[in-house]
Amino acid sequence: MSTFEKRAREDKRDERRREKDQRKRERKLAPRSGPEIVSAADIVGNVPSIEEVMQNLQGGGAPRSAAPIPAKLFVGTLSDMTTSARLRAHFETYGDIVEAVVITDRATGASRNFGFVTMADRKDAARAISALHGSELDGKNIVVNVATERS
């Protein structure tokens, strides 16, 4: 390769570098398009007041259209005498119960001293946990937590 060809290639490379730097400067100096700022007068439609929004967040206001989400609770340290019916009765004051079951040993049929309660709404489940954790059922203080899957 001749010296002339090398010099021509270097000049071309330098020209591309200058063009790239120029494009960078132009992008840097170009006006930025940020988020569009609108006022309340620009918004068309019914905008709720802050009081209405807070009331809806706190549970008041219009009822929600979504179905309630059930929650399964673990209930531990049950008495040997506790039955599924007694367990259901203990939780019914805090909401609708889908299922209440005391787990028994397959071989002997004796209680394994824990059970599960499935509540129809997870909001009711949260109230039940705070109210019934540590409460007494058939002479024993019970443990109430959200049930987790076995791994």
Residue 4 lies in a domain: no
Residue 11 lies in a domain: no
CA dist 100 and 32 (Å) reads 60
The pLDDT of 14-37, averaged and rounded, is 86
pTM listed for this prediction: 0.57
CA dist 77 and 134 (Å) reads 10
pLDDT at 108: 93
User: What is the domain range of residue 124?
Assistant: 71-146
Handedness of CA 41, 44, 50, 52 (dihedral sign): positive
Residue 113 lies in a domain: yes
pLDDT tens digit sequence for 101-144: 999 999 999 999 999 999 999 999 999 999 999 999 999 999 99
Domain count, the chain: 1
Residue 66 lies in a domain: no
Residue 36 lies in a domain: no
pLDDT tens digit sequence for 42-92: 666 666 777 877 777 776 655 556 778 899 999 999 999 999 999 999 999
CATH number of the domain within which 96 lies: 3.30.70.330
The candidate with the shortest Cα–Cα distance to 102, out of 122, 83, 127, is 83
